């Protein structure tokens, strides 16, 4: 399962070894125990990856092989490609923009997408430090 945690200024992508159903069930139980409201709704989430990142062509091929439509790619401009994922948003309130997005696809696709995102973070961090 991929989990994207969104905040007001950024997001973090991680691979979680639990199944989507197990993770959501644990999150619902936690919300019940602490008396927190929880909104779960089907939705999409998007983020950008540099088009010159090694492995983007492999990602494009993986998307073509996936017939479930969980992941889509769209060229934004000459420098970035937008990755859109279909899954579920978990929010404390239906009006919040801060929350967690979860989705599931093949283990291979999840691992590869996470690896690309990490490489993009590392390359942007090295550019900022120069």
In residues, how long is the chain?
130
Across the range 4-11, mean pLDDT stands at 83
Contact in structure between 45 and 87 (CB atoms under 8 Å): yes
The values of phi and psi at residue 34, to 5°, are: -95, 0
> Closest Cα to residue 112, out of 9, 8, 13, 11?
13
Higher per-residue pLDDT: 2 or 10: 2
Query: How does pLDDT run across 54-110, given as a tens digit for each residue?
Result: 899 998 888 888 778 899 999 989 999 999 999 999 988 656 667 899 999 988 889
Contact in structure between 27 and 90 (CB atoms under 8 Å): yes
Contact in structure between 48 and 82 (CB atoms under 8 Å): yes
Across the range 104-130, mean pLDDT stands at 79
Contact in structure between 49 and 120 (CB atoms under 8 Å): yes
Residue 25 has pLDDT above 80, yes or no: yes
- Mind spelling out the 3-state secondary structure of 59-100? HHHHHHHCCCCCEEEEECCCCEEEEEEEEEEEECCCCCCCEE
Cα–Cα distance for residue pair 114/120, rounded to 1 Å? 10
Residue 2, token pair as written in the block: 């991929």
Q: What is the pTM of this model?
A: 0.85
What pLDDT, on the 0 to 100 scale, is given for residue 9? Answer: 78
What pLDDT, on the 0 to 100 scale, is given for residue 11? Answer: 84
Across the range 32-59, mean pLDDT stands at 91
What pLDDT, on the 0 to 100 scale, is given for residue 93? Answer: 67
């Amino acid at each position: 399962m991929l989990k994207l945690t969104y905040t007001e200024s950024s997001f973090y992508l991680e691979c979680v070894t639990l199944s989507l159903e197990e993770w959501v069930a644990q999150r619902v139980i936690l919300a019940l125990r602490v008396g927190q409201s929880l909104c779960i709704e089907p939705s999409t989430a998007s983020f950008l990856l540099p088009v010159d990142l090694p492995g983007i062509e492999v990602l494009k091929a993986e998307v073509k092989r996936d017939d479930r439509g969980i992941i889509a790619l769209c060229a934004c401009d000459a420098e970035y490609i937008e990755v859109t994922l279909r899954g579920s948003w978990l929010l404390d309130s239906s009006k919040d923009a801060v929350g967690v997005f979860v989705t599931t696809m093949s283990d291979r696709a999840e691992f590869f997408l996470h690896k690309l995102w990490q490489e993009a973070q590392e390359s942007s961090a090295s550019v900022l430090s120069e």
